[in-house]
Amino acid sequence: LTEGRNIPTILEAFASPKVNAHVVFLGDGKFGSLIHGYSARHSNIHLLSPVRPTEVVHYVAACDVGLCLSQPICLSYKLSLSNKALEYISAGIPFFYTDLPEVSRLLGPAFNSWLIRDPACDLTEAIAALTVRAIQEAKSNMRSLRLPSWDEEAEAMLSTYLQLMP
């Protein structure tokens, strides 16, 4: 629960009377006390204690939708493929995501409507507009996603390195 993940924006969205949904934060960190304050005032905002990394996908699988709203505050973040995205895919849970090229590439065009270009302006409306049908359709599309294996990724990386070497 740290910088670069749009946590204050998520809290504001779920504190809005337009949103009739719950949000669960899992873990601890810099924004723990802020989340705790919001959860004391809003019955739909929850903070759970940290769990072991091997248990995260199990917890995520209990959700309807995820939020992977990383802020591209530097080139490394912009080009990253976050654990959060991989955990949602592993759990078969559709998720709203920010404009990160690797996440977009992995999800493909079937998930363009889940892209949140400006979370501060668009997140509340996107959550409020979400329907059960849209979630079910996205979950169905999630089943067609395939995470590449390390061997596949290593082969592509090695090939690129070999092309770059004199």
Could you tell me the two tokens for 147?
A: 């995470």
**C-alpha torsion sign, points 75, 77, 97, 35:** negative
The enclosing H or E element of 48 equals strand 45-48
Q: Which residues of the chain have pLDDT under 70?
A: none
**Given this model, what pLDDT does residue 154 score?**
87
pLDDT of residue 166: 77
Give 8's contacts (C-beta < 8 A, 6+ positions apart).
Answer: 31, 34
pLDDT at 150: 85
Q: What is the pLDDT of residues 72-103, one digit of tens each?
A: 889 988 998 889 999 999 999 999 999 999 99
